[in-house]
């Protein structure tokens, strides 16, 4: 053991691979009857009965998807799980198991991985998920995490991206753009810190933004809310890349067009204030920011009274026929074609 002031650093080589896996996973409790066998054999065994199985994977790479200079490892563990659960919920499904694979360089002591797994464990507890396996290996540089989430759903309840219909309403949960701005704030502080390591940043004006970036929540609650309201979306996707890009996925795959109203896009007051400070257009941020992990879905007009006035849901547009294209209707009542990057101000349409 190397004593680092009052921080203990245990080299991973002291434990060996099996010791490490055992150490990291021993406190995870299995919560699902469907988990017949979890960690410890060649493969996990699940019994999802007569339901359809949902499987989704995401890869997170240090330096590409996260920066450990401002992302605490516990948050990273939590977020890695959220990113995956969000995809299961976007199918209207129920997530029940995950596998977690990590590749780590010898730069990381055991204590770092313990922190990472604390975040993973908190996510598993909060969302009732069983950790049932994974893989552990070394990397020459940096940390890589791949998570696979497994869920299930009754065949009649699955919601795909490609089934939006003309005249459906386009609805989004929560609010948009905060996570992107949180990242901008953290990046700015990192630069300030580089110049002056003694600076004491006051981040109280940005707490919501930073929380959305560092500790996003997958919207399991929205899937339940829709069930309780007896609303089955006609199409659904989660917002990982930005509202604009996700609307285009739904529209392209469903072969429909859409009008989205700028004035309807839900924004938190901190998003509005921080956009002014950074001289950013809040609509652009909401459309292209990404990492919101909100749900974007379409519903039949008949279902509108069931969601009307719900504080978690906002109708932001409606589905049109394919030939009308995918447009943002601005506050000035101009129609602008949406692109995956947000909108192209040069491609104005009259
Ligand atoms: P194998 O060599 O057969 O692939 P491993 O030694 O990699 O088996 O894994 C042993 C057990 O530990 C398996 O159940 C595997 O799923 C699990 N496991 C390995 N790495 C991790 C990890 N990072 N997190 C959770 N479970 C893990
Ligand atoms: Mg293995």
Same domain, 151 and 174: no
Per-residue exposure over 110-149, b if at least 16 CB sit within 10 Å of its own CB, e if not: bebbebbbbbbbbbbeebebbbbbbebeebeebbbbbbbb
Query: What 3-state DSSP class applies to 328?
Result: strand
Judged by its nearest atom, the ligand closest to the C-alpha of residue 44 is 1
d(C-alpha 76, C-alpha 166), whole Å? 40
CB 23 within 8 A of CB 116: no
Residue range 317-341: average pLDDT? 94
Same domain, 222 and 253: yes
- Choosing from 157, 184, 203, the residue where a domain stops is 157
pLDDT > 70? residue 1? no
Ligand 1 contact via 26 beta carbon (within 6 Å): no
Residue range 128-137: average pLDDT? 97
DSSP letter assigned to residue 203: -
Judged by its nearest atom, the ligand closest to the C-alpha of residue 136 is 1
d(C-alpha 178, C-alpha 188), whole Å? 15
The predicted pLDDT at position 5 comes to 53
pLDDT > 90? residue 51? yes
Same domain, 317 and 183: yes
Look at residue 35 and tell me if it is in a domain: yes
d(C-alpha 88, C-alpha 295), whole Å? 11
Domain interval for residue 42: 12-157
CATH code (residue 236):
3.90.650.10
- Choosing from 114, 133, 157, the residue where a domain stops is 157
The predicted pLDDT at position 292 comes to 97
Look at residue 241 and tell me if it is in a domain: yes
Structure-model confidence comparison of residues 97 and 195, the more confident one:
97
Same domain, 258 and 332: yes
pLDDT > 60? residue 106? yes
Q: How far is the CA of 9 from the centre of ligand 1 (A)?
A: 23
Ligand 1 contact via 135 beta carbon (within 6 Å): yes
Q: What is the pTM of this model?
A: 0.93
Angle value at C-alpha 318, between 314 and 321, nearest 5 degrees: 160
The predicted pLDDT at position 348 comes to 42
Ligand 1 contact via 121 beta carbon (within 6 Å): no
CB 224 within 8 A of CB 95: no
CB 307 within 8 A of CB 220: no
Look at residue 293 and tell me if it is in a domain: yes
Look at residue 6 and tell me if it is in a domain: no
CATH code (residue 139):
3.30.1330.10
**In a mutational test of the pocket of ligand 1, which residue from 38, 39, 130 has the highest number of ligand atoms less than 8 Å from its CB?**
39
Judged by its nearest atom, the ligand closest to the C-alpha of residue 20 is 1
Residue range 307-336: average pLDDT? 97
Determine which helix (DSSP H) or strand (DSSP E) holds 56, and give its type and residue range.
Answer: strand 52-61
Look at residue 48 and tell me if it is in a domain: yes
Token pair listed for 324: 């009308």
pLDDT category, 249, cuts 50, 70, 90?
very high
Residue range 256-280: average pLDDT? 98
The tens digit of pLDDT for each residue in 139-175 reads 999 999 999 999 999 999 999 999 999 999 999 999 9
The predicted pLDDT at position 201 comes to 83
Residue range 333-343: average pLDDT? 83
**Both ends of the chain: CA-CA distance in Å?**
69
Comparing CA positions, the residue from 215, 27, 25, 16 lying closest to residue 101 is 25
Same domain, 147 and 177: no
Round the average pLDDT of the chain to a whole number and report it: 94
Residue range 45-73: average pLDDT? 96
The predicted pLDDT at position 44 comes to 97
pLDDT > 60? residue 119? yes
The predicted pLDDT at position 6 comes to 58
Per DSSP bridges, beta strands 256-261 and 313-321 are: antiparallel
List phi, psi (to 5°) of 84: -80, -45
The tens digit of pLDDT for each residue in 208-245 reads 999 999 999 999 999 999 999 999 999 999 999 999 99
Query: What 3-state DSSP class applies to 105?
Result: coil
Ligand 1 contact via 16 beta carbon (within 6 Å): no
Look at residue 139 and tell me if it is in a domain: yes
pLDDT > 50? residue 346? no
Residue range 248-270: average pLDDT? 98
Angle value at C-alpha 288, between 76 and 234, nearest 5 degrees: 90
Number of folded domains that form the chain: 2
The predicted pLDDT at position 73 comes to 98
- Choosing from 157, 188, 217, the residue where a domain stops is 157
Cα torsion 270, 271, 272, 278 to 10°: value is: 110
CB 320 within 8 A of CB 210: no
d(C-alpha 153, C-alpha 312), whole Å? 23
pLDDT > 60? residue 325? yes
The predicted pLDDT at position 199 comes to 83
d(C-alpha 231, C-alpha 308), whole Å? 12
pLDDT category, 350, cuts 50, 70, 90?
very low
**In a mutational test of the pocket of ligand 1, which residue from 134, 144, 148 has the highest number of ligand atoms less than 8 Å from its CB?**
134
Burial class (CB in 10 A: 0-12, 13-18, 19+), 288: buried
* β-bridge mates for residue 257, sequence order: 320
Burial class (CB in 10 A: 0-12, 13-18, 19+), 319: buried
């Amino acid at each position: 053991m190397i004593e680092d002031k009052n921080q203990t650093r245990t080299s991973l080589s002291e434990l060996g691979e099996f010791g490490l896996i055992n150490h990291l996973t021993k406190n995870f409790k299995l919560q699902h009857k469907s988990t017949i066998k979890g960690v410890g054999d060649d493969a996990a065994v699940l019994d999802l009965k007569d339901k359809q199985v949902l499987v989704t994977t995401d890869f997170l790479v240090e330096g590409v998807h996260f920066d450990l200079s401002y992302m605490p490892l516990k948050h990273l563990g939590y977020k890695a799980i959220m990113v995956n659960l969000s995809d299961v919920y976007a199918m209207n499904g129920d997530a029940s198991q995950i596998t977690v694979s990590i590749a780590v360089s010898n730069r990381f002591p055991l204590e770092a991985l313990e922190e990472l797994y604390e975040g993973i464990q908190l996510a598993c507890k909060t969302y009732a998920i069983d950790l049932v396996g994974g893989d552990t290996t070394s990397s020459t540089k940096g940390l890589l995490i791949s998570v696979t989430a497994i869920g299930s759903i009754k065949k009649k309840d699955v919601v795909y991206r490609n089934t939006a219909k003309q005249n459906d309403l386009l609805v989004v949960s929560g609010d948009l753009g905060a996570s992107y701005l949180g990242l901008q704030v953290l990046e700015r502080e990192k630069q300030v810190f580089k110049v002056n390591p003694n600076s004491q940043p006051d981040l109280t004006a940005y707490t919501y933004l930073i929380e959305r970036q560092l500790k996003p929540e997958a919207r399991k609650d929205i899937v339940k809310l829709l069930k309780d309201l007896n609303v089955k979306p006609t199409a659904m996707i989660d917002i990982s890349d930005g509202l604009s890009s996700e609307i285009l996925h739904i529209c392209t795959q469903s072969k429909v067009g859409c009008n989205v109203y700028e004035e309807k896009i839900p924004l938190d007051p901190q998003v509005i204030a921080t956009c002014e400070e950074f001289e950013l257009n809040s609509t652009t941020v909401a459309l292209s920011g990404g990492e919101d992990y909100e749900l974007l879905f379409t519903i039949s007009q008949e279902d509108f009274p069931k969601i009307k006035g719900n504080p978690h849901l906002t109708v932001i547009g409606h589905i049109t026929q394919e030939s009308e294209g995918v447009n943002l209707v601005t506050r000035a009542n101009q129609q602008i074609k949406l692109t995956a990057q947000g909108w192209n101000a040069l491609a104005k349409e009259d």
